[in-house]
Amino acid sequence: MLSLAFYLLFLLVFVVFAVYAERKTAAFIQNRLGPMEVGPRGMLQTVADLLKMIQKEDIKADAVDKLPFLIAPIIVFVAVFAGFSVLPLNAEVAGSNVSGGLFLMLAIISLDVLGILMAGWASNNKYSLFGSMRSVAQIVSYEIPIGLSVLCVVIITGTLDLQKTSLLQSGRGLIDWNIIQHPVLIIPFLIFFISGLAESNRTPFDLPESESELIGGYHTEYSGFRWGIFMLSEYGMMLLLSIVGAILFFGGWNSPLVRIGSWDLYTMTSGTVWGTFWLLSKALLLVFIQMWVRWTLPRLRVDQLMSLSWKYLTPLSILMLFICGIWKLWLIS
C-alpha cells in the first residue's frame, strides 16, 4: 500500500518533469533550446500547460457514445496504474504480496487496450476508430514477445515475485545483476525494451496516435482533463515498463557500486532511501533512452509493425526462451 501511494505521487511529479524532459531532449537533438520562458530555463512550462489543460472545457460531441466515452480514460489509467501495485520500492517496501506478481502485472496492463478501444469506438470518429484498431492490433501482437522475454528472466530467477527477483540480485553490486550474471538475457532485454515501446504507444510505434495522419488517434475527441488522463497513462506506462525492466535486468533497488578492496561501496550505498534512489534512477535512465529513441527513429508502417512483431521478435523470443532454459539447466548442473 505504501509503495502504491508513493508511486501515485511520484507518477504525478514524474509526468510533469517527463514532459519537460521530453521537450528538452527533442530540442537538444534538433539543435533547439526547447521551452525557455516559464520559470528558470522553462522548468515550469509543463505546470503552465497543465493549468491551461485543466481549465479547458470537457467537450462531449453529440455523436459520441456517452458512457464508454466517459469511462474509457478511467479504465486506461486504472489499468496502467494497477500495474504499479506489485512493484517493490526498496528492500523494506515491497509491493502487493502476490506470488505471481509479474504475471498479474502483465495481465492487468494489457487491459488498457480495452479502454483505448472504448475511447476510439465511442468517439464515433473514423480517425479515432483507426487509432484504436491499430492500438489493439499492436498491443495484442507485442504482448507475446514482451511476455516471452519476461519469461526468460523468470526461468533463470525462478520466481514471479518482483521483490524476490530484486533480492536475488543483491549482495555485490553491479556484478550480481541479472544481465551481467546471465549474459543470455541481453537479447531478451532488447526484445523487452522494443516491445515495451510498442506497449506504451511510443514512437517508433506510435501508430495509434500518429498525430500527423490520425490527429491524435483514439484521443482525438477528448479535451481537457480527460485527455490529460490519457497523457498521464501514457507516461505512466513508460515509467512502469522502465521500472520493471530495471528490476528484471538491472538489479532493481540494488546499488551498482561494487566493493573495491576495503572500501565497501555497496553497503555504503544501500538502505531504504538509497534503494529507492537506485531503482528510480535506473528507471529514469531507461525513460531517457525511450525519449532518445523517440527523437531518432521515424514511425513504422502498419505492416512493418506487424512483421517486426510476428516475424522477428516473436520467433527470436521463443528461441531465447529455449536458450535460457538450456542456460538454466547448464547453470544448475
Partner 1 sequence: MSYFKNISYALRTVRKGLTLTIRYFFSARFKRNKRPVTAANYFEAENGTFTVQYPREEILVPDHGRYKLHNEIDDCIVCDKCAKICPVDCIEIEPIRAVEEYGKTSDGTPLRIHAAKFDIDMAKCCFCGLCTVVCPTECLTMTDEFDYSTSNILDHNFSFSKMTEREINEKKLELEEFQKEKEAIKNTSGAEKQAKPVMKKPAGKPVFKPRPIPKRK
Burial class (CB within 10 angstroms; exposed 0-12, middle 13-18, buried 19+) of 157: buried
Per CB under 8 A, the list member of 48, 174, 215, 293 interacting with partner 1 is 293
Contacts of partner 1 in 34-73 (CB under 8 A): 36
**Shortest Cβ distance from residue 24 to partner 1 (Å)?**
9
Q: Which stretch binds partner 1 (CB under 8 A): 88-96, 119-127, 172-180, 288-296?
A: 288-296
What is the distance in angstroms between the CA of the first residue and the CA of the last residue of the chain? Answer: 40
Q: How many residues bind to partner 1 according to rule CB under 8 A? A: 16
Q: Does 322 bind partner 1 (CB under 8 A)?
A: no
One character per residue 149-188, x = contact with partner 1 (rule: CB under 8 A): ----------------------------------------
**Main-chain phi, psi angles of 263, to 5 degrees:** -85, 105
Structure-block grid coordinates of residue 22: 521530453
Q: Does 311 bind partner 1 (CB under 8 A)?
A: yes
Amino acid at 138: Q
Q: Does 114 bind partner 1 (CB under 8 A)?
A: no
- The radius of gyration computed from the CA coordinates of the chain, to the nearest angstrom, equals 20
**Shortest Cβ distance from residue 304 to partner 1 (Å)?**
10
Q: Does 28 bind partner 1 (CB under 8 A)?
A: yes
Contacts of 46 (CB under 8 A, 6+ apart): 15, 16, 17, 19, 20
Contacts of 108 (CB under 8 A, 6+ apart): 79, 82, 83
Which residue, 130 or 142, is less far from partner 1 as judged by CB?
Answer: 142
Q: Does 301 bind partner 1 (CB under 8 A)?
A: no
119 half-sphere exposure, CB direction, 13 A CA radius:
32
Per CB under 8 A, the list member of 2, 8, 12, 30 interacting with partner 1 is 30
Please give the biggest Cα pair distance in the chain.
Answer: 71
Q: Contact 155/226 with Cβ under 8 angstroms? A: no
Q: Does 285 bind partner 1 (CB under 8 A)?
A: no
In the complex, the residues that contact partner 1 under the rule CB under 8 A are 25, 27-33, 36, 292-293, 295-297, 311-312
